[in-house]
C-alpha cells in the first residue's frame, strides 16, 4: 500500500498509434507517461493485438488489483472502443481493449487509454471514480473526500451515480465514462445528465449497443476538478478540460496554464478543441458524449501540439451506424 496520500497511487496513459501492431509494440512515445517513468525508467507502455479489434495494453511497474481504465477511440468513421478487463500481471498493469467498426463488428482501431488507482483520502481535492456493475452496485470505487459513491440501475441501460462531497456548490469539473464488457459485446456508455445538491453530484449514465438500443453494461466513471482525469496535479505539469459546445457552466472550462479554451465547429458533428499552453511535453486526451440520445463522441484523429504548446484536438460525434451528428461532449487533456 502507498505510504502517502498523494493522488494517484499509480497511473498511466498512452496512445495506440498503430491499429495493427506487432506483439509488444511500443506505443507513441510522445503520448505516453505514468508511474513507470520513475519506478522503472526506460520501460515503455506497449500494445499487443490478439485478434481483430482485440488488444492488450501493458503499463510497466504499475500493477494493482484496484483502479479504473478509460478508452477513447481515434477514428473518423464512427468506429468505437471499450474497456474489457484490467489487472496485475508480473508487476505490470494490463488493460484489455476491444474495438469495433460503426456497425459493431470487431475492427482494428487506434485509441487512447489510461489507468489510475487511488486509495487514501485527500482533503481539499475533488476527485473520484468507480467501476459499476451492469445490474447496479459498484465493483471499485474511490472518493478523495471520503464520500461513499453509489450506482443504481434505474431501468435497462440507465443508471444513477452519486458522488458525495465532491461538488463545490455548482456544476464544475469534468466527467469521463467508458463502457466495459468482458465478453467483447459492443457497448457505448455516456453521461446523459448531471446535477448537484449542495456538495453531492448526481450523474445519469446511459449505455447502448451498437445499434443504439439501451442495454445493461458495466462502465467506469471518473470525475475530476482542478486536476487531471486520473487525479494527478504534480505530475502533470498542466491540464485542461471543457464541456462543449455552447455550455454555460463556467466551472466546466478550466486551463491550468491560464489559457482560454475554445471549440470551433468544422461541420456536422465535427469540432476542433483548442487548449492553449498546456501541451508541455507528454500529452493525453479523453472524450465522452453528454446528452440524452444514443449519439457518441470521440477523437477523429490524433491531437497536435504547436510550438507555443497549444494543443488542438479534432472531436467527432456520431449516430449509431456512424453518421455524423451534433452533440455536447466532455473533453479533457493532461501533459507532463
36 membership: H or E segment, kind and range: helix 36-39
What local confidence, expressed as pLDDT, does residue 153 receive?
98
Whole-number pLDDT of residue 133: 98
Q: Looking at the DSSP assignment, which residues form a beta bridge with residue 15?
A: 112
Name the DSSP class of 29.
G
* Distance separating alpha carbons of residues 114 and 291, to the nearest angstrom: 23
30 phi, psi to nearest 5 deg: -85, -5
Strand partners, 143: 128
Please give the backbone phi and psi of residue 323, each rounded to the nearest 5 degrees, phi first. -75, 135
The per-residue pLDDT for 209 is 98
In this predicted structure, what is the pLDDT of residue 4? 40
Give the per-residue pLDDT at 1.
33
Q: What is the block-wise mean pLDDT of the chain (336 residues), using blocks of 10 residues?
A: 63 98 98 96 97 98 95 98 97 98 98 97 94 97 97 98 96 98 98 97 98 98 96 84 91 96 97 96 97 98 97 98 98 95
CA distance 294 to 210: 9
pTM over 0.75: yes
Amino acid at each position: 500500500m502507498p505510504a502517502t496520500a498523494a493522488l494517484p497511487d499509480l497511473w498511466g496513459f498512452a496512445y495506440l498509434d498503430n491499429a495493427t501492431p506487432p506483439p509488444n509494440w511500443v506505443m507513441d512515445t510522445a503520448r505516453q507517461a505514468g508511474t513507470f517513468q520513475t519506478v522503472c525508467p526506460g520501460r515503455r507502455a506497449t500494445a499487443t493485438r490478439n485478434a481483430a479489434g482485440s488488444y492488450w495494453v501493458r503499463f510497466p511497474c504499475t500493477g494493482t488489483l484496484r483502479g479504473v481504465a478509460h478508452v477513447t477511440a481515434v477514428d473518423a468513421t464512427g468506429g468505437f472502443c471499450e474497456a474489457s478487463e484490467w489487472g496485475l500481471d508480473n508487476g505490470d498493469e494490463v488493460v484489455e481493449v476491444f474495438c469495433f467498426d460503426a456497425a459493431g463488428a470487431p475492427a482494428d482501431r487506434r485509441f487512447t487509454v489510461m489507468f489510475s488507482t487511488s486509495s487514501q483520502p485527500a482533503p481539499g481535492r475533488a476527485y473520484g471514480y468507480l467501476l459499476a456493475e451492469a445490474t447496479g452496485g459498484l465493483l471499485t470505487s474511490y472518493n478523495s473526500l471520503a464520500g461513499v459513491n453509489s450506482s443504481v440501475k434505474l431501468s435497462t441501460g440507465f443508471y444513477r451515480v452519486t458522488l458525495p462531497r465532491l461538488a463545490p456548490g455548482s456544476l464544475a469539473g469534468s466527467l469521463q465514462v467508458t463502457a466495459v464488457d468482458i465478453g467483447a459485446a459492443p457497448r457505448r456508455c455516456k453521461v446523459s445528465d448531471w446535477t448537484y445538491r449542495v456538495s453531492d453530484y448526481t450523474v445519469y449514465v446511459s449505455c447502448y449497443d451498437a445499434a443504439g438500443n439501451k442495454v445493461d453494461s458495466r462502465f467506469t466513471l471518473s470525475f475530476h476538478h482542478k486536476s487531471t482525469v486520473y487525479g494527478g496535479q504534480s505530475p502533470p505539469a498542466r491540464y485542461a478540460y471543457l464541456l462543449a459546445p455552447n455550455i454555460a457552466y463556467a466551472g466546466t472550462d478550466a486551463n491550468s496554464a491560464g489559457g482560454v479554451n475554445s471549440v470551433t465547429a468544422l461541420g456536422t458533428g465535427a469540432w476542433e478543441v483548442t487548449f492553449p499552453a498546456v501541451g508541455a511535453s507528454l500529452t493525453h486526451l479523453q472524450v465522452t458524449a453528454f446528452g440524452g440520445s444514443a449519439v457518441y463522441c470521440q477523437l477523429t484523429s490524433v491531437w497536435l501540439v504547436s510550438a507555443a504548446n497549444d494543443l488542438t484536438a479534432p472531436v467527432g460525434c456520431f449516430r449509431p451506424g456512424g453518421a455524423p451528428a451534433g452533440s455536447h461532449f466532455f473533453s479533457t487533456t493532461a501533459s507532463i
